[in-house]
């Protein structure tokens, strides 16, 4: 019974949470609290853990809640549940995109959406900077050094982002702790 409920809960979360990742967390907390009685304290551990583990936050959260309430089967169905709506919706939308790709109106709409997406990515920079290189208006020295170095090697030499991430992780473990 728990297995079915876990699947339905995470399917619902996958289907109704727009904005991905952190925007999904409140929904996950409410659902997990109702279904498994997860406490706020345990939830904050889940958030901390999903930040320091690889992969999408929503997947980490689904696996965590699923495992805590019903072991490996629970972890598996919760993860499948949160992914499944994406599979269905991306398929529907990409069929639609392919069908209208050559239409002039669709090209016009996309030509407006692309610059909006550039603005969106740039806004992500501001949000992520907060709590990393900035705390309020104050600069955090070591993270700023990391930021500047990466900006330089990535902007100037087109360094591989995955390699940069791994090196930054190792350097952070040694220096920032």
Partner 1 sequence: MKELWQLFITFLKIGSLTFGGGYAMIPAIRRETVTKRGWTDEEGITDCIAVSQSLPGAFAVNVAIFIGKQVKGIPGAAVACFSLVFPAYLTILIILMFLGTIEDNVYITGAFEGIKAASVALILVTSVQLGRGILKSKTAWAIAVLSFIAIVLLSANAIYAIVLGGLIGYIQYRYGKRREVENR
**Stretch near partner 1 under the rule CB under 8 A, chosen from 1-9, 29-37, 122-130:** 122-130
Q: What is the dihedral of CA 152, 156, 160, 165, to 10 degrees?
A: 10
Q: Which parts of 24-43 interact with partner 1 (CB under 8 A)?
A: 24
**Stretch near partner 1 under the rule CB under 8 A, chosen from 1-9, 14-22, 33-41:** 14-22
Q: Which member of 4, 39, 123, 135 binds partner 1 (CB under 8 A)? A: 123
Q: Which member of 73, 94, 99, 139 binds partner 1 (CB under 8 A)? A: 94
**Are the C-beta atoms of 10 and 81 separated by less than 8 Å?**
yes
Q: Least CB distance from residue 86 to partner 1, whole Å?
A: 4
**Are the C-beta atoms of 51 and 64 separated by less than 8 Å?**
no
Distance (Å) of CA 164 to CA 36, 50, 125, 157: 39, 20, 17, 12
Closest CA to 29 of 42, 12, 48: 42
Please give the structure tokens belonging to residue 12: 């619902």
- How many CB atoms are located within 10 Å of the residue 159 CB? 14
- Would you say 40 or 162 has its CB closer to partner 1? 162
Binding of partner 1 at residue 114 (CB under 8 A)? yes
Q: Which parts of 43-82 interact with partner 1 (CB under 8 A)?
A: 45, 48-60, 63-64, 67-68, 72, 75-76, 79, 82
Q: Least CB distance from residue 36 to partner 1, whole Å?
A: 14
């Amino acid at each position: 019974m728990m297995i079915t409920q876990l699947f339905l809960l995470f399917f619902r979360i996958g289907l109704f949470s727009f904005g991905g990742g952190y925007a999904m967390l409140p929904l996950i907390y409410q659902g997990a609290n109702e279904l498994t009685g997860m406490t706020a304290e345990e939830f904050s551990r889940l958030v901390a853990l999903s930040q320091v583990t690889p992969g999408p936050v929503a997947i980490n959260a689904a696996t965590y809640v699923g495992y805590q309430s019903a072991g490996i089967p629970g972890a598996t169905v919760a993860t499948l549940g949160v992914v499944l709506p994406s599979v269905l919706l991306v398929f529907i939308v990409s069929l639609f995109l392919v069908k209208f790709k050559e239409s002039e109106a669709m090209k016009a709409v996309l030509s407006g959406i692309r610059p909006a997406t550039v603005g969106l990515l740039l806004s992500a920079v501001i949000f992520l900077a907060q709590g990393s290189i900035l705390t309020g208006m104050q600069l955090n020295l070591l993270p700023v050094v990391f930021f500047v170095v990466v900006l330089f090697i990535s902007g100037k030499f087109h360094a591989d982002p995955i390699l940069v991430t791994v090196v930054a992780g190792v350097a952070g473990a040694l220096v920032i702790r």
